């Protein structure tokens, strides 16, 4: 770092090179930030969060989906399994005396559907600002909310469970693509308020949808029939074809938009339901996850499966959307990908498929409502724009933060700790905590080596 | 809100090219200095050397150059690529002396794609059909060149050689180190497809060479479908390529193939099988950075250590490649680009040192021309002449006057440079103190034949002294001189055209012969009246008797004859008078009443033309001094009227009947200015030296009258004294009676003095108390192929720049920061003493730093405190080991603030025993990523973070047992890769980032909610386009009606120095509107819009559509003066002001720097 800074001052390396190296360094150091809590209730009289006092979780019934605004990286949206939604300010928190922080919701709506049992499947911000957001849920609707009042300003009844929805951030149109139990991908036009048309082609429930990051008309979707289809919403025969996991060559004569697969109507992306699709930022690759416990990376300039093998560690058993996270390319030089596994987040190299890191959820006594099935489950991941930070939502009702913690951080804490340690007692506690943390780091490192 | 003006333009040369640009057949060298193009051409007198012809601003930093030659053009066109992923082509318009845009800018930015890590590249394939352009990782843009075709696709004649639209092609080689087109053999008539070689590093860090065939299909329907290009067919080179391979050199026919240049060897790759052969190891390993071809067989290579090599390629009898050899030529600056000129001369363009032209000679090289360069500026300090310290009050009138000492250049090219922009005033001799206030000073020629002045007449309050100068500069005071009156103050003395002297005192006008010491004529005013003002020109002398009577005396005949006389009534008393040969037969008089100035006929002293100089607003201004000077070529002479309130009003004298045209006013100070005429070197034009509290030189430049400050603050009177020993000198008498001779520049220029250090000056701390600089330097040498880096802290005298003492740091330890400060001297009395504090870091390996299991508690940096002993030696007082680098230092409430690897720590300097001081940690604060720079104001510390912009910390010293605390009070929530921060006004901070943006942040301490108070609000933003390394605040005393107030200096990596100003509240809207109006009208090369250039841009946010936010670019605003009159009128009309008024503002802004 020192020599990087010196060379940047000299103008002999570009500022981008330093940024890239630093981002890479931070991305490698990503780990659970144990001191960050999201809760409906503030600290009140309490000064620390410990065994004696644990504030309630973000959503008591479990968090199904989170989203962070892409403009400021400041607002986090969460949707619960009890159809509650909440919006949080990541830059504002109550802090405890021991340095932990507690985020309180800026707004919270306890129930957004008729019955609380009909949970939310996905939340997302309006594509052009963070003043509105969309939810889809088991109540068969897509709703548009005002971010300040948390009241639904529009409701679209799609007459079947909506598993996921997607808006394009580059498009001029305001089409929301909805993946629902119905085999057709439904497009809802927010401008007119009508459900414009359906994209028919799948032969099972659609579980995931994703717009192309650069071409406003290209859409990818995954369904329980194991296929991942590409669509061009302008065309009457809108399906461009499917992705075939057995094709590792692809089709020559491509144009880099994923249209190369248009000539293929046979083949499956997974040997199970496709419940996650996501594009890389440049539209070069499409990543899919399936209930066959596989993740596949397709090269979208040819439509070929890159055959990256992510090993046996992936868990994926529910027919709900489970989308992996690809950090923006400017942060990860060697593209990395994060997979929400039960009780952990797995970090892979996208091209090699090698497991870089296992980010374990810190073990904590479950204090969510005990009727949650499978409380370990990680339900969704969100990248915090302008930061090297991931937020994850969990079925146990927690929202967790993952932040870089480098060796310098550990030392800085010691430096800082110096000022705070007034009594020997806190010092020893501190030391123990640090030792534990170091052990944890060491463990992670040795694990990585073994792999 | 904010205003930025350049003081020193960027001087780093990263790109250069030789073209026939200005005229057919000419050989011009075009240099890119950040966002400026400089066109140099051979000097007609010395054809080996180059002279600057033109300098033009681009809206974008140049990242690549190439030559294009369309068939229809007589001259070469210049292809320019910028860091905004724009490219355009330019040619030269010889008539208008302007760049002509051939192809307006094309934007090839790809939002999601990443920058190419190894720099942008452009190549033309050997058959001249395609241009390849690489700006992003893994993307090659193919630009077809129109060529004569057949049928429908045939290009029109005037299009041949023009570039067509780019076709982006993806290649899987992301990290390409070098690329080139390969020369191909081809049989038959059909041209083979071009082949594109890529030297790249794969994901396992192995270096490989691949050659891809370019398949291009023109579109059948060009309007509907773009053409397609592919680089699919590829062949890997056979054989091993070393890890350090960095450059490809394609060899032309008949040799073919390419050379791979590496750190330890050079290999040949044939063009048939792409087999790596003929690998030859180098004598010692090095890192090559640039190359150029001398001819087909000889290539010149430059390495990172400044050595130049000649690579010779041997051919066999059939002209094919048979081997190569490399020899070192000699040492130059570290090259960033090489251009072969001709006849063995090579231009070495350098970023890290001075650029040079070298001549290759037998067994070595000669440096024949040097182009000064102060980039990269790692650190600088502001020194004003008067009171040399950072906190010095800088003259607001021209802040560019301040002297800046920079640490410039890298490693062996390192130097200290003293930069000051302004009219240089260099003392050449001193005559000594007169012992009494000097009222006037006059230069005389003692004989009519002499062309040099040799006698200096100094008028004191009650006497006159005369000094004779010999040709060798010897000075002697004479008791008597030509019968002149020595017992009285002299109002005027001068030579007549005949060579005789005239002296005017308050009681007499004397005419004396040069040769003999006798008075040949005299005239006394009537009794009870005395002469109060004199004006003389040729044989005429005009005297004013107490303002009530004007008398014209004619001295032509050898005696003194009254030519005309006129009494003025009490309501019309004369305040000042002037004569000039520019308006023969007239004189000018200023009057006490009504601010009146009149041209009077010399024959009867009756008015010819009269005007009132003062604005209606302040009718009290009295004209107190008058002068007519020929300032501008091709324009009438200018009349300067100095008013008693410090204003200067100028008029153009079209004729004696119409003398008051084109009125302009400017404030020079608060007291009346006096004018002295100085001849310019060309003998036709004149400069005017105005003495007042801000002495100024007034000269003509680019068709305008320019006022520029001169550092002669104490000057009382001045005269031209062109003596033999000191040609072109002026004599200056200061208020305290000191008379000196000096040489003054004719125009304002940027003066750069170089003091070669040969080590990189990374940090500068200046102690006014010790009259010394503390320098943190780094030295890098190559010993047996191994790079050795060492670092020292040096104490250097401020005047002679002589090293007084130095302190060597440990092995692998580098200086990171240093400062001077006052610390407890340990005497126990609480007295403080001047100390230097130095922060260091040990060279780290990023791999181990990132490894948490690395050795804990290891020393990775130190904090050292030095005292300077009586013998001016450095003595270490105390040291503290740190676990990381100490990046920055500051003083806050008597404590040392240190920016460590992740924290900001406050240390107290305490004596536990009387002789041994310790640094005791008092408080610490952890920043978001890593602190890079600090700015302390009171107890508030602004910290700029590596990637998370600025946060404000508040330091509270502990009281009554409570510990000290350091806590965040506000921050700016944005990703901004900070490089420097400074406090520029109360609660206002200027921050710069690595991507070249400037942001002004405001802390709203009176905010409504806590949330408001916690956030630093960006109030102004602009892209500077160069990374700022250091910001130093300055304080100025603004004049009440100043448009802008200088607040800080900035220095950049590219060698630019800028002054940052805040716009005075009343002018913000006007200046911003002026900028917007000009941005729409000023045409840039390549037609790049101003907003795209100056709009804030970072990896996460791009304000290229909106342009700069509340930030005015001085360079653009000043172009108002260059704009055509219609444009000026239009802009002024839109602003609702007169052209003159707007021009006045812009001229006032110009004077800032």
Test B850 with A25 for CB contact under 8 angstroms.
yes
If you average pLDDT over residues B83-95, what whole number do you get? 91
Residues B5-41: pLDDT tens digits? 988 899 999 999 999 999 998 999 999 999 999 999 9
Report d(CA B1067, CA B1078) in Å as an integer.
16
Test A8 with B924 for CB contact under 8 angstroms.
no
Of residues B878 and B172, more confidently modeled? B878
pLDDT band at B844, cuts 50/70/90? low
Is residue B899 within 8 Å of B881, Cβ to Cβ?
A: no
Test A352 with B203 for CB contact under 8 angstroms.
yes
> B619 by DSSP, 3-state: which?
coil
Tell me what pLDDT residue A428 has.
58
Test B930 with A2 for CB contact under 8 angstroms.
no
Tell me what pLDDT residue B153 has.
54
Minimum-distance CB partner of B112 among A12, A281, A409: A281
Q: Which has the closest alpha carbon to A447: A317, A344, A323?
A: A344
Tell me what pLDDT residue A370 has.
53
Most confident residue range from A49-58, B292-301, B708-717: B292-301
Burial class (CB in 10 A: 0-12, 13-18, 19+), B1082: middle
Q: What is the DSSP string of B422-451?
A: EB-EEEEEEEEE-SS-EEEEEEE-SSTT-S
CA B576 from centroid of its chain's CA atoms: 41
B1068 φ/ψ angles, rounded to the nearest 5 degrees: -60, -50
Residue B448 half-sphere exposure, CB side, CA atoms within 13 Å?
Answer: 12
Q: Does B968 touch chain A (CB under 8 A)?
A: no
If you average pLDDT over residues B487-501, what whole number do you get? 85
Asked if the model's pLDDT at residue B398 lies above 60, the reply is no
Test A91 with B351 for CB contact under 8 angstroms.
no
Tell me what pLDDT residue B1001 has.
95
If you average pLDDT over residues B488-509, what whole number do you get? 87
Q: Which has the closest alpha carbon to A283: A258, A314, A313?
A: A258
Residues A315-357: pLDDT tens digits? 888 888 899 999 987 777 778 899 999 888 999 988 888 888 8
Q: Which has the closest alpha carbon to B503: B541, B447, B469?
A: B541
Tell me what pLDDT residue A424 has.
45
Residues B575-592: pLDDT tens digits? 999 988 888 888 999 998
Residues A57-113: pLDDT tens digits? 888 888 999 999 988 888 999 999 888 999 999 888 888 777 788 899 999 988 877
Test A1 with B352 for CB contact under 8 angstroms.
no
Report d(CA B44, CA B652) in Å as an integer.
37
Test A411 with B884 for CB contact under 8 angstroms.
yes
| Dihedral sign, Cα of residue B752, residue B756, residue B758, residue B764 | negative
Asked if the model's pLDDT at residue B745 lies above 60, the reply is yes
pLDDT band at A252, cuts 50/70/90? low
Enumerate the H helices of B929-991 as residue ranges.
none
Is residue B423 within 8 Å of B748, Cβ to Cβ?
A: yes
Q: Å from B765 to nearest chain A CA?
A: 18
pLDDT band at B393, cuts 50/70/90? very low
**Interface list for A 136-165 with B (CB within 8 A):** none
> B605 by DSSP, 3-state: which?
coil
Residues B1111-1153: pLDDT tens digits? 999 999 988 988 888 999 999 999 999 888 898 888 888 777 7
Q: B170: which chain A residues are within 8 Å (Cβ-Cβ)?
A: 256, 301
Q: Which has the closest alpha carbon to B583: B572, B598, B595?
A: B598
Q: Å from A304 to nearest chain B CA?
A: 15
Least confident range from A341-345, B384-388, B1030-1034: namely B384-388
Residues B280-330: pLDDT tens digits? 898 888 999 999 999 999 999 999 999 999 999 999 998 889 899 999 999
User: Dmax of chain B from CA atoms?
Assistant: 110
Q: What is the DSSP string of B1015-1076?
A: BEEEEEEEE-SS-EEEEEE-EE---TT-SEEEEEEEEETTS-EEEEEEEPGGGHHHHHHHHH
Asked if the model's pLDDT at residue A446 lies above 80, the reply is no
If you average pLDDT over residues B364-389, what whole number do you get? 79
Q: What is the mean pLDDT of chain B?
A: 86
Q: Which two tokens stand for residue A414?
A: 């010691």
Of residues B189 and A130, more confidently modeled? A130
| Dihedral sign, Cα of residue B675, residue B676, residue B680, residue B686 | positive
- Supply the DSSP symbol for B320: -
Test B846 with A21 for CB contact under 8 angstroms.
yes
In DSSP terms, B254 is beta-bridged to: none
Q: Å from B902 to nearest chain A CA?
A: 6
Q: CB contacts < 8 Å between A and B, how many?
A: 157
pTM of the entire predicted model: 0.81
Percent of chain A with pLDDT over 70: 87
Q: Does A249 touch chain B (CB under 8 A)?
A: no
Report d(CA A163, CA A183) in Å as an integer.
12
Minimum-distance CB partner of B351 among A8, A11, A329: A11
Q: Which has the closest alpha carbon to B1114: B1024, B1032, B1036?
A: B1024
Q: Å from A138 to nearest chain B CA?
A: 35
Q: Which has the closest alpha carbon to A342: A375, A364, A371?
A: A375
Q: Which has the closest alpha carbon to B629: B616, B621, B640?
A: B640
If you average pLDDT over residues B503-531, what whole number do you get? 82
If you average pLDDT over residues B962-970, what whole number do you get? 89
Tell me what pLDDT residue B851 has.
41
> B120 by DSSP, 3-state: which?
coil
Q: Does B928 touch chain A (CB under 8 A)?
A: no
Q: Which has the closest alpha carbon to B19: B52, B51, B65, B57?
A: B65
Q: What is the dihedral of CA B455, B458, B464, B470, to 10 degrees?
A: -20
Q: Does B234 touch chain A (CB under 8 A)?
A: no
Asked if the model's pLDDT at residue B117 lies above 90, the reply is no
> A7 by DSSP, 3-state: which?
helix
Interacting residues of B89 by C-beta distance below 8 A, sequence separation 6+ = B68, B77, B78, B79, B80, B101, B102, B103, B163
Least confident range from A37-51, A245-259, B524-538, B718-732: namely A245-259
Asked if the model's pLDDT at residue A423 lies above 70, the reply is no
Best of A419, A421, A423, A440 to mutate (most B CBs within 10 Å, chain B): A419
If you average pLDDT over residues A429-448, what whole number do you get? 70
Q: Å from A314 to nearest chain B CA?
A: 25
Q: Which two tokens stand for residue B575?
A: 């305040």
CA-based nearest residue in chain B for residue A252: B232
Q: Measured at the alpha carbon of residue B1028, what is the angle toward residues B1027 and B1031, in degrees to the nearest 5?
A: 170
Test B110 with A387 for CB contact under 8 angstroms.
no
Is residue B308 within 8 Å of B329, Cβ to Cβ?
A: yes
Tell me what pLDDT residue B151 has.
56
Structural domains of chain A sorted by starting position, each given as residue range(s) with its CATH number in brackets: 35-413 (2.130.10.10)
Test A416 with B924 for CB contact under 8 angstroms.
yes
**Interface list for A 346-365 with B (CB within 8 A):** 351-352
Is the interface score ipTM higher than 0.90?
no
In DSSP terms, B1141 is beta-bridged to: none
Interacting residues of B1002 by C-beta distance below 8 A, sequence separation 6+ = B987, B988, B989, B1016, B1017, B1018, B1019
Residue B547 half-sphere exposure, CB side, CA atoms within 13 Å?
Answer: 13
Tell me what pLDDT residue B177 has.
93
Tell me what pLDDT residue B521 has.
83
pLDDT band at B850, cuts 50/70/90? very low
pLDDT band at A363, cuts 50/70/90? low
Tell me what pLDDT residue B62 has.
93
Least confident range from A16-20, A176-180, A216-220, B708-712: namely B708-712
Q: Counting runs of H as helices and runs of E as strands, what totals does chain A give? A: 4, 30
Percent of chain B with pLDDT over 70: 94
Asked if the model's pLDDT at residue A282 lies above 50, the reply is yes
Is residue B187 within 8 Å of B197, Cβ to Cβ?
A: no
Test B232 with A252 for CB contact under 8 angstroms.
yes
Of residues A371 and A267, more confidently modeled? A267
In DSSP terms, B164 is beta-bridged to: none
If you average pLDDT over residues B1025-1030, what whole number do you get? 94
Q: Which has the closest alpha carbon to A242: A225, A252, A346, B1076?
A: A225
Tell me what pLDDT residue B1063 has.
93
Is residue B640 within 8 Å of B629, Cβ to Cβ?
A: yes
pLDDT band at A197, cuts 50/70/90? confident
Tell me what pLDDT residue B386 has.
39
Residues B240-294: pLDDT tens digits? 899 999 999 999 988 889 999 999 999 999 888 889 988 889 888 899 999 999 9
Q: Å from A111 to nearest chain B CA?
A: 29
Percent of chain B with pLDDT over 90: 39
Test A12 with B114 for CB contact under 8 angstroms.
no
Tell me what pLDDT residue A76 has.
94
Q: Å from A374 to nearest chain B CA?
A: 34
Q: Which two tokens stand for residue B872?
A: 């001016």
Q: Which two tokens stand for residue A58?
A: 């973000």
- Supply the DSSP symbol for B238: B
Report the DSSP pairing between strands B509-512 and B501-505: antiparallel
Q: B902: which chain A residues are within 8 Å (Cβ-Cβ)?
A: 408-409, 411-412, 415
Report the DSSP pairing between strands B2-8 and B1111-1113: parallel
Tell me what pLDDT residue B854 has.
42
Q: Does A213 touch chain B (CB under 8 A)?
A: yes
Q: What is the DSSP string of B1064-1082?
A: PGGGHHHHHHHHHHHHHHP
pLDDT band at B855, cuts 50/70/90? very low
CA-based nearest residue in chain A for residue B927: A412
Q: A386: which chain B residues are within 8 Å (Cβ-Cβ)?
A: 974-975, 1100
Q: Which has the closest alpha carbon to B974: B1008, B935, B1021?
A: B1021
Least confident range from A169-173, B224-228, B434-438, B710-714: namely B710-714
- Supply the DSSP symbol for A271: S
Tell me what pLDDT residue B516 has.
64
């Amino acid at each position: 770092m020192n020599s990087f800074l010196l060379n940047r001052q000299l103008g002999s390396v570009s500022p981008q090179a330093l940024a890239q190296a630093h981002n890479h360094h931070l991305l490698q150091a990503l780990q659970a930030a144990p001191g960050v809590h999201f809760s409906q209730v503030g600290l009140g009289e309490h000064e620390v969060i410990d065994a004696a006092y644990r504030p309630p979780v973000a959503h008591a019934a479990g968090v199904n989906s989170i989203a962070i605004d892409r403009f400021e990286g400041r607002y986090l949206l969460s949707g619960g399994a009890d159809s509650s939604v909440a919006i949080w300010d990541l830059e504002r928190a109550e802090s405890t005396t021991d340095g932990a922080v507690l985020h309180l919701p800026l707004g919270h709506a306890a129930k957004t559907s008729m019955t609380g049992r009909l949970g939310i499947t996905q939340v997302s911000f309006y594509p052009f600002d963070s003043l509105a957001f969309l939810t889809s849920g088991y109540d068969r609707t897509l709703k548009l909310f005002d971010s300040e009042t948390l009241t639904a300003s529009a409701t679209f009844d799609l007459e079947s469970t909506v598993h996921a929805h997607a808006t394009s951030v580059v498009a001029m149109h305001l089409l929301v693509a909805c993946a629902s139990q119905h085999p057709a991908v439904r497009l809802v036009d927010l401008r007119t308020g009508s459900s414009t048309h359906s994209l028919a082609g799948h032969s099972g429930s659609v579980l995931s949808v994703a717009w192309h990051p650069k071409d406003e008309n290209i859409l990818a979707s995954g369904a329980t029939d194991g296929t991942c289809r590409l669509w061009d919403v302008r065309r009457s025969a809108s399906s461009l074809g499917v992705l075939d996991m057995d094709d590792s060559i692809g089709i020559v004569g491509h144009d880099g938009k994923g249209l190369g697969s248009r000539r293929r109507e046979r083949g499956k992306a997974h040997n199970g339901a496709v419940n996650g699709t996501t594009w890389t930022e440049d539209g070069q690759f499409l990543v899919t996850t399936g209930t066959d416990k596989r993740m596949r990376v397709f090269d979208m300039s040819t439509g070929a499966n890159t055959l990256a093998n992510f090993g046996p560690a992936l868990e994926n058993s529910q027919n709900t959307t489970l989308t992996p996270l690809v950090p923006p390319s400017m942060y990860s030089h060697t593209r990395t990908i994060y997979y929400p596994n039960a009780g952990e987040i797995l970090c892979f190299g996208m091209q090699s498929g090698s497991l870089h890191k296992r980010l374990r959820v810190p073990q904590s006594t479950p204090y969510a409502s005990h009727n949650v099935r499978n409380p370990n489950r990680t339900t969704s991941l969100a990248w915090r724009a302008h930061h090297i930070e991931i937020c994850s939502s969990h079925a146990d009702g927690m929202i967790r933060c993952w932040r870089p913690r480098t060796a310098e951080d550990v030392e800085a804490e010691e430096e800082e700790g110096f000022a705070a340690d007034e009594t020997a007692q806190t010092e020893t506690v501190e030391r123990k905590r640090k030792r534990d943390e170091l052990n944890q780091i060491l463990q992670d490192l040795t694990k990585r080596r073994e792999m | 809100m904010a205003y930025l003006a350049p003081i020193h333009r960027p001087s780093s040369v990263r790109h250069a090219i030789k073209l026939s640009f200005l005229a057919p057949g000419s050989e011009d060298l075009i240099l890119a200095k950040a966002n400026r193009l400089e066109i140099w051409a051979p000097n007609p007198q010395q054809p080996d050397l180059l002279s600057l012809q033109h300098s033009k601003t681009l809206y974008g930093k140049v990242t690549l150059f190439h030559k294009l030659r369309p068939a229809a053009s007589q001259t070469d066109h210049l292809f320019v690529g910028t860091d905004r992923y724009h490219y355009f082509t330019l040619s030269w318009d010889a008539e208008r002396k302007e760049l002509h845009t051939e192809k307006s800018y094309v934007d090839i930015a790809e939002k999601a794609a990443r920058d190419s890590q190894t720099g942008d590249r452009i190549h033309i394939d050997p058959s001249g059909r395609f241009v390849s352009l690489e700006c992003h990782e893994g993307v090659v843009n193919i630009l077809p060149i129109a060529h004569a075709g057949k049928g429908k696709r045939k290009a029109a004649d005037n299009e041949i050689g023009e570039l067509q639209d780019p076709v982006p092609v993806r290649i899987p080689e992301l990290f390409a180190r070098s690329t080139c087109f390969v020369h191909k053999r081809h049989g038959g008539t059909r041209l083979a497809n071009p082949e594109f070689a890529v030297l790249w590093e794969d994901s396992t860090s192995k270096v490989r060479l691949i050659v891809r065939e370019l398949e291009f299909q023109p579109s059948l329907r060009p309007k509907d479908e773009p053409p397609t290009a592919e680089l699919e067919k590829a062949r890997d080179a056979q054989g091993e390529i070393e890890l350090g391979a960095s450059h490809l050199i394609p060899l032309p026919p008949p040799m073919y193939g390419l050379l791979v240049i590496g750190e330890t060897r050079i290999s040949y790759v044939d063009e048939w099988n792409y087999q790596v052969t003929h690998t030859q190891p180098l004598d010692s390993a090095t890192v090559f950075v640039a190359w150029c071809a001398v001819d087909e067989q000889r290539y010149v290579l430059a390495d990172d250590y400044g050595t130049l090599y000649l690579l010779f390629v041997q051919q066999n009898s059939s002209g094919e490649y048979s081997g190569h050899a490399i020899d070192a030529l000699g040492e130059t600056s570290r090259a960033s680009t090489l251009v072969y000129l001709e006849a063995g001369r090579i231009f070495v363009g350098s970023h890290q040192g001075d650029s040079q032209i070298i001549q290759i000679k037998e067994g070595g090289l000669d440096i024949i021309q040097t182009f000064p360069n102060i980039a990269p500026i790692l650190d600088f300090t502001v020194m004003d002449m008067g009171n040399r310290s950072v906190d010095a009050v800088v003259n607001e009138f021209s802040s560019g006057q301040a002297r800046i000492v920079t640490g410039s250049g890298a490693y062996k090219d390192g130097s200290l440079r003293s930069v000051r922009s302004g009219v240089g005033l260099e003392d050449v001799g001193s005559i000594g103190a007169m012992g009494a206030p000097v009222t006037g000073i006059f230069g005389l020629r003692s004989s009519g034949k002499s062309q040099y002045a040799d006698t200096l007449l100094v008028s004191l309050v009650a006497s006159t002294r005369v000094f004779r100068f010999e040709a060798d500069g010897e000075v002697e005071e004479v008791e008597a001189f030509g019968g002149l009156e020595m017992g009285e103050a002299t109002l005027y003395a001068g030579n007549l055209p005949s060579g005789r002297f005239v002296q005017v005192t308050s009681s007499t006008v004397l005419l004396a012969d040069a040769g003999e010491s006798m008075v040949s004529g005299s005239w006394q005013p009537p009794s009870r009246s005395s002469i109060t003002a004199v004006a003389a020109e040729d044989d005429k002398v005009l005297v004013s008797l107490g303002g009530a009577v004007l008398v014209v005396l004619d001295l032509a005949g050898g005696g003194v004859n009254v030519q005309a006389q006129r009494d003025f009534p009490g309501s019309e008393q004369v305040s000042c008078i002037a004569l000039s040969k520019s308006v023969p037969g007239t004189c000018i008089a200023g009057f006490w009443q009504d601010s009146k100035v009149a041209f009077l006929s010399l024959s009867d002293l009756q008015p010819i033309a009269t005007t009132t100089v003062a604005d209606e607003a302040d009718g009290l201004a009295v004209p107190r001094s008058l002068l007519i000077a020929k300032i501008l070529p091709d324009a009438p002479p200018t009349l300067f009227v100095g008013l008693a309130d410090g204003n200067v009003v100028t008029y153009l004298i079209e004729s004696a009947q119409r003398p008051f045209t084109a009125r302009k006013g400017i404030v020079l100070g608060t007291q009346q200015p006096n004018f002295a005429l100085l001849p310019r070197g060309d003998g036709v034009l004149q400069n005017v030296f105005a003495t007042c509290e801000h002495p100024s030189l007034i000269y003509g430049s680019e068709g305008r009258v320019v006022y520029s400050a001169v550092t002669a603050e104490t000057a009382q009177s001045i005269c031209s004294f062109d003596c033999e020993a000191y040609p072109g000198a002026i004599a200056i008498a200061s208020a305290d009676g000191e008379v000196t001779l000096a040489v003054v520049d004719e125009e304002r220029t940027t003066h750069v003095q170089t003091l070669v250090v040969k080590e990189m000056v990374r940090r500068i701390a200046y102690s006014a108390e010790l009259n010394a600089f503390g320098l943190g330097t780094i030295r890098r040498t190559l010993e047996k192929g191994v790079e050795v880096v060492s670092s020292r802290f040096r104490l250097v005298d401020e005047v002679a720049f002589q090293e007084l003492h130095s302190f060597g740091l440990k092995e692998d330890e580098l200086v990171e920061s240093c400062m001077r400060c006052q610390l407890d001297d340990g005497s126990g009395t609480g007295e403080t003493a001047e100390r230097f504090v130095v922060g260091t870091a040990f060279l780290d390996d990023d791999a181990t730093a990132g490894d948490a299991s690395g050795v804990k508690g290891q020393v990775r940096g130190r904090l050292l405190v030095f005292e300077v002993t009586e013998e001016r030696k450095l003595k270490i007082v105390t040291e503290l080991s740190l676990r990381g680098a100490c990046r920055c230092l500051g003083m806050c409430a008597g404590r040392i603030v240190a920016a460590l690897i992740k924290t900001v720590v406050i240390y107290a300097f305490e004596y536990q025993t009387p002789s041994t001081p310790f640094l005791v940690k008092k408080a610490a604060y952890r920043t978001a990523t890593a602190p890079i720079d600090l700015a302390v104001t009171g107890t508030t510390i602004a910290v700029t973070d590596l990637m998370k912009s600025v946060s404000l910390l508040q330091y509270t010293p502990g009281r009554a047992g409570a510990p000290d605390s350091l806590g965040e009070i506000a921050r700016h929530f944005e990703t901004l890769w900070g490089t420097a921060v400074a406090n520029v006004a109360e609660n206002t901070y200027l921050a710069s980032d690595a991507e070249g943006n400037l942001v002004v942040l405001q802390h709203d301490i009176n905010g409504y909610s806590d949330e408001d108070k916690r956030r630093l609000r960006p109030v102004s933003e602009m892209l500077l386009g160069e990374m700022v390394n250091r910001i130093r605040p300055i304080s100025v005393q603004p004049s009440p009606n100043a448009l802008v107030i200088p607040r800080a200096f900035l220095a950049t990596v590219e060698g630019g120095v800028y002054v940052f100003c805040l716009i005075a509240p009343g002018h913000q809207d006007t200046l911003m509107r002026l900028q917007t109006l000009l941005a729409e009208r000023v045409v840039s090369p390549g037609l790049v819009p101003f907003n795209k250039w100056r709009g804030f841009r970072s990896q996460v946010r791009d304000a290229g559509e909106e342009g700069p936010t509340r930030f005015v670019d001085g360079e653009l605003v000043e172009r108002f003066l260059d704009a055509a009159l219609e444009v000026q009128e239009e802009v002024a009309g839109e602003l609702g002001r007169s052209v003159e008024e707007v021009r006045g503002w812009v001229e006032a802004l110009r004077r800032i720097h």
